[in-house]
Amino acid sequence: MTIERFTNVITEETELREIFGEPSERAVNKQIDRLDVHCRAIVEKCPFILLGTSNTEGQCDVSPKGDYPGFVRVLDDRTIAIPDLPGNNRLDTLRNMIKNPQVGLIFMIPGMNETLRINGKVQLVRDPSLLESMSFQGKLPKLAIVVNVQEIFTHCPKAFLRSKLWSDEYRIERSELPSFAEILKDHSGFVDCDVEELQKELDHRHATTLH
């Protein structure tokens, strides 16, 4: 039996508008449908993005993607391409894209508090010429995530200013939290796993299979 925990739950957009009001004209008009010179400059300097997807059942996934600045390629003013680099082969993001090609992306650059947001529709592409253009030290991605841009806009810096993300103020010593191996051992249920050996294996894999 589901126990209702909350009694004041918003269910309609009209209720949201009563609380927040309407967006400013500037907030509405900043949305464009193509990569202009400013958007291109951000994409070309960006080493890290967040890629959000969902399937037709509403199950969501947000996947971090990162590499050298410019790893996301601008193909034209309405198209970008993201190399799909080695992961754990769960394929949560890619399987979602097969069922629902609509995606949302956030581009983040260390030292820049504003972000670039792109919403669009994807194709999973294996054209040799495209993959070869995205190679790194002779290694080709298995496929490219090609996004047709539908909406694009910059996002204000408030979240980064509040979190002080790029400062050292909230930076922790990694030892303050469990190691990745400890977390993986507990979450996977491998009770007989040697944590130190697992961490060595993970470190080796991360060092040798980035591309």
Average pLDDT taken over every residue of the chain: 95
Number of alpha carbons in the 13 Å side-chain half-sphere of residue 170: 7
Is residue 47 within 8 A of residue 110, CB to CB? The reply is yes
52 plus 128 within the same structural domain: yes
47 plus 143 within the same structural domain: yes
Q: pLDDT band for position 2 (50/70/90)?
A: low
Proportion of the chain in helix, strand, coil states, percent, rounded to 5: 30, 25, 40
> Which two tokens mark 182?
């400890």
107 plus 184 within the same structural domain: no
63 plus 115 within the same structural domain: yes
The string of pLDDT tens digits covering residues 103-148 is: 999 999 999 999 999 999 999 999 999 999 999 999 999 999 999 9
96 plus 181 within the same structural domain: no
Closest CA to 130 of 173, 82, 58: 82
Which pLDDT does position 149 carry in this prediction?
98
Task: Give the domain extent around 195.
Answer: 174-208
Domain count, the chain: 2
The string of pLDDT tens digits covering residues 50-77 is: 999 999 999 999 999 999 999 999 999 9
Quote the pTM value: 0.94
Which pLDDT does position 192 carry in this prediction?
87
Q: 177-206: b or e for each residue (b if 16 or more CB lie within 10 Å)?
A: eeeebeebbeeeeeeeeebeebbeeeeeee
Question: Domain for residue 5, yes or no?
Answer: no
